[in-house]
A and B are shown apart, each in its own frame.
Chain A
Amino acid sequence: MTTTTEKSVNPQAGKAGTPLLEVRDLHVEFRTRDGVAKAVNGVNYSVSAGETLAVLGESGSGKSVTAQAIMGILDSPPGFVTQGQINFQGRDLLKLSEKERRRIRGAKMAMIFQDALSSLNPVLTVGYQLGEMFRVHQGMSRKDAKAKAIELMDRVRIPAARERVNDYPHQFSGGMRQRIMIAMALALEPDLIIADEPTTALDVTVQAQVMDLLAELQREYHMGLILITHDLGVVADVADKIAVMYAGRIVETAPVHELYKQPAHPYTRGLLDSIPRLDQKGQELYAIKGLPPNLLRIPSGCAFNPRCPMAQDVCRTDIPVLHPVTDSRGSACHFWKETLDG
């Protein structure tokens, strides 16, 4: 194992070509009445075509805010991107005008939200809302757009699409609505899809259907997929690589198999230990002590230090950089070697 701490981790190493999307040193803050909440504090990640990156984190870890910054749908004010680059197909999105970004959104990159019911317009039919993608971006006629909408609904396996195209969102079940969201994201065959907790609101049997569909469509269209979730089970099922976020930073990034086998950050290890498993009935659950930090007052040094069983003095003063563990994985812990060894 190398000890060159200067070398930056490139999870893309070994893969040909430049990544589809590359986020570099992204900082986002929210200027609120109570002070400045630093939601994202220097995030780096990349996704290639056909690859699934899972971004894992608890509420407030900055996983969704990063996605909103990429899509350009950050509520501003109070949210501001203060630093960083978002390179997408060779262009820095943060340097583009709002008009140019709007042309990319939907056509080149699309997002699937957690709550399909509140993401769809309740007073318009799903056919109209699906067809809108074609009318606005491609100037299609109403009739052609509707035909396209039916085709899309078929594509995401909504039964009797032709009869249901004129139904309103409330007439569909939760799983079907999420399919419509997927159809809408896929409409213009984008190169990148960001799915923010796409199955969290669904029941397990429906969740399995929707994740299967998403994975299949991704393979077929060879899209890059960023899957934002808090569910370690979903990640293990579909992701190629994973980035674990805590208090606005990536604390660990690794190919999915390696991370589950041997986590290199105490937070990741705590998360893995704290989930009860179906095939292993244990005694007392391991619990990470304490609470996630308040973003208005992030602890100095490593943000995880007040909850970390391995914390030393250095953790309270120095912010750990993302040390390369291997060519393809990194850990932002001063004691990553000790963590890796168990």
Chain B
Amino acid sequence: MAEPILEVRDLVKHFPLTQGVLLKKQIGAVKAVDGVSFDLLRGETLGIVGESGCGKSTLAKVLMNLERATSGQVLYKGEDISRLSGRALKAVRRNIQMVFQDPYTSLNPRMTVGDIIGEPFEIHPEVAPKGDRRRAVQDLLDVVGLNPEYINRYPHQFSGGQRQRIGIARGLALRPEVIIADEPVSALDVSVQAQVVNLLEKLQDEFELSYMFIAHDLSIVRHISDRVGVMYLGKMVEIGTDTQIYDHPTHPYTQALLSAVPVPDPEAREGRERIILQGDVPSPANPPSGCRFRTRCWKAQEKCAQEVPLLAVPQVLSGPAAHDSACHFAEEKDVVGAA
């Protein structure tokens, strides 16, 4: 097994809810990320899936140190980076870069593509000396499949897919080891999505990158990921290799999520068993006691309201079903129907 490059330990991010104008009184907290632990291994792609409000984007921001963790640790090569600031933080950030979801708002419309991709070099001049920058930017454009002559164009002159390539080039500029991609293809058309996914895979081989790939599209996550983590309401509920999660899911939420994905095959319409969950995701400001999924779970019993299930390999399971799952009543169920 490859060594971990990022180790996340019991990470918590609460956003305080306050009342009053002058004397702000804290009346609660939105528990966006509430005790999440996992490893990102060198050279792998870890997919993170979950519905809106599950905390997956907050997790990305905390890992990038764009938001301060409330508690817990993020170890990068063994060093805790969650408390760093100033120069030390800047040095670490060079190695962890981010690609954002919306290629329309994440690029400054008044800057040329050359300035956008070259901006990381302003902050880290040691990577590319001043005279070499233009050359370095053109190389990056070439790497992501854009014409190097476009260096003086503005973002509005590009399509969505091309803009996402610009965002990826900016993420690559400092030769990072880890790229955190938050929904990098959700804003793109189907025919263009495949192009960007292929590009990300090519770059991973070329630059030995480790990806954390956050998305809500389960099919794309399976395609690109070596391991997959499923989040629900601030907690990691199940994590394992792509085969373990997709072919041998043991957590009821994972099973429901997988069965809800529309399969692009009308022949599968009749044969599939759909688990339709009742209700909506509860508010993260006031999550249910015990297991957070219990309010929508068909297996829930009294134990689920009292004890928080831990993310561990359930003892009753064996074979590929034996992977981390945070459910008191974990059992395997094949919902995708893969032969």
Which residues of A pack against B, CB within 8 Å?
58-59, 159, 173-176, 203-209, 211-212, 230-237, 239, 256-257, 260-261, 270-272, 274-282, 284-289, 291-292
Closest 9 CB pairs of A and B: A233-B262, A276-B223, A203-B51, A274-B194, A287-B194, A232-B264, A208-B260, A279-B338, A58-B189
Chain B residues with CB under 8 Å of A175's CB are 280
Known pairs A208-B274, A209-B276, A287-B191. 13 more at Cβ < 8 A? Answer: A58-B191, A205-B256, A205-B257, A231-B262, A233-B261, A233-B263, A257-B266, A257-B267, A279-B263, A285-B194, A287-B198, A289-B195, A292-B159
Given the contacts A175-B280, A212-B276, A282-B223, A274 and B190 also touching, CB distance less than 8 Å: yes
A281 to B244, CA, bound (A): 13
Are A271 and B190 closer than 8 Å at their CB atoms?
yes
- Out of B159, B223, B279, B338, which one reaches A285, CB within 8 Å? B223
Task: For the complex, give the distance between the alpha carbons of A209 and B266 in Å.
Answer: 18
Ordered by A's residue number, 11 sampled pairs between the chains whose C-beta atoms are within 8 Å are A58-B189, A204-B261, A205-B260, A205-B276, A235-B264, A274-B191, A274-B193, A275-B190, A276-B222, A278-B258, A287-B195
Contact with A along B277-293 (1 / 0, CB 8 A): 10111000000000000
Kindly state the separation between the CA atoms of A96 and B246 in the bound complex, as whole angstroms. Answer: 54
A13 to B281, CA, bound (A): 45
A292 adjacent to B191 (CB under 8 Å): yes
How close is A198's CB to chain B, nearest CB, in angstroms?
13
Q: Which residues of B contact A203 (CB under 8 A)?
A: 51-52, 216, 281
* A233 with B51, Cβ < 8 A, contacts A176-B280, A278-B246, A281-B223 known: no
Kindly state the separation between the CA atoms of A284 and B51 in the bound complex, as whole angstroms. 26
- Chain B residues touching A, range: 35 or more
- List residues of B (147-196) whose CB comes within 8 Å of A's CBs: 159, 161-162, 189-195
Contacts of A205 in B (CB 8 A): 51, 256-257, 260, 276-277
Taken together as a complex, chains A and B put the C-alpha atoms of A48 and B159 apart, in Å, by 38
- The count of A-to-B residue pairs whose CB atoms sit within 8 angstroms is 133
Q: Check if B189 sits within 8 Å of A230, measured CB to CB.
A: yes
Using CB atoms, name the residue of chain B closest to A267: B191
- Given A205-B260, A230-B190, A257-B266, A173 and B220 contact (CB-CB distance below 8 Å): no
A228 to chain B, nearest CB (A): 14
Give the Cβ gap from B221 to chain A, nearest Cβ, in Å: 9
B264 touches which of A272, A281, A285 (Cβ 8 Å):
A272
Do A288 and B264 have beta carbons less than 8 Å apart? no
A260 adjacent to B265 (CB under 8 Å)? yes
Cα distance, A159 to B336, chains bound together (Å): 30
Report the separation of the CA atoms of residues A275 and B274 in the bound assembly, to the nearest whole angstrom: 21
Could you tell me if A204 and B218 are in contact, using CB atoms closer than 8 angstroms? yes
B257 and A279 contacting across the interface, CB-CB below 8 Å? no
B195 → A minimal CB distance (Å): 4
Which residue in chain B gives the minimum CB-CB distance to A276?
A: B223
A284: B residues at CB distance < 8 A: 198, 201
Q: Collect the chain A residues with CB atoms within 8 Å of residue B262's CB.
A: 207-208, 211, 231, 233-234, 236-237
Residues of B contacting A274 in the complex (Cβ-Cβ under 8 angstroms): 190-191, 193-194
Partner of B218, one of A278, A285, A292: A278
Contact between chains at A277 and B264 (CB < 8 Å): yes
> In whole Å, how far is A278's beta carbon from the nearest beta carbon of chain B?
5
Chain B residues in 8 Å Cβ range of A233: 219, 261-264
- Complex CA distance for A211 and B261, rounded to whole angstroms: 12
Judge whether B269 is part of the interface by a CB distance below 8 angstroms.
yes
A177 to B258, CA, bound (A): 24
**Complex Cα distance A298/B195, Å?**
22
Contacts of A230 in B (CB 8 A): 189-190
Whether A275 lies near B219 (C-beta < 8 A) is yes
B242 within 8 A of A: yes
Which residues of A are found within 8 Å of B269, using beta-carbon distances? 236-237
Interchain CB contact under 8 A, A236 and B191: no
A239: chain B residues within 8 A (beta carbon): 266
Query: Are A208 and B264 in touch, CB under 8 angstroms?
Result: no
Does B16 have its Cβ within 8 Å of any Cβ on chain A?
A: no
Q: A156 CA to B139 CA in the complex, in Å?
A: 55
Question: For residue B257, which residues in chain A have a CB less than 8 angstroms away from its CB?
Answer: 204-205
Tell me which of B189, B220, B246, B265 contacts A236 (CB under 8 A).
B265
Taking the nearest CB of chain A, how far is it from the CB of B248, in angstroms? 13
Q: Quick check: B242 and A236 within 8 Å, CB to CB?
A: no
Chain B neighbourhood of A275, CB < 8 A: 190, 194, 219, 264
Q: Is B317 an interface residue (CB 8 A)?
A: no
Q: Which of B159, B195, B336 contacts A279 (CB 8 A)?
A: B336
B197 within 8 A of A: yes
B225's closest neighbor in chain A, by CB? A281
Q: Are B265 and A209 in contact (CB under 8 A)?
A: no
Q: Which residues of B contact A257 (CB under 8 A)?
A: 266-267
A211 surroundings in chain B (CB, below 8 A): 262
Q: Tell me the minimal C-beta distance from A163 to chain B in angstroms.
A: 16
Contact residues, B287-330 vs A (CB, 8 A): none
Tell me if A260 and B189 are in contact (CB < 8 A): no
CA distance A176 to B246 in the complex (A): 29
Q: Is B268 an interface residue (CB 8 A)?
A: yes
A274-B194, A279-B338 as given contacts; A207 in contact with B276, CB under 8 Å: no
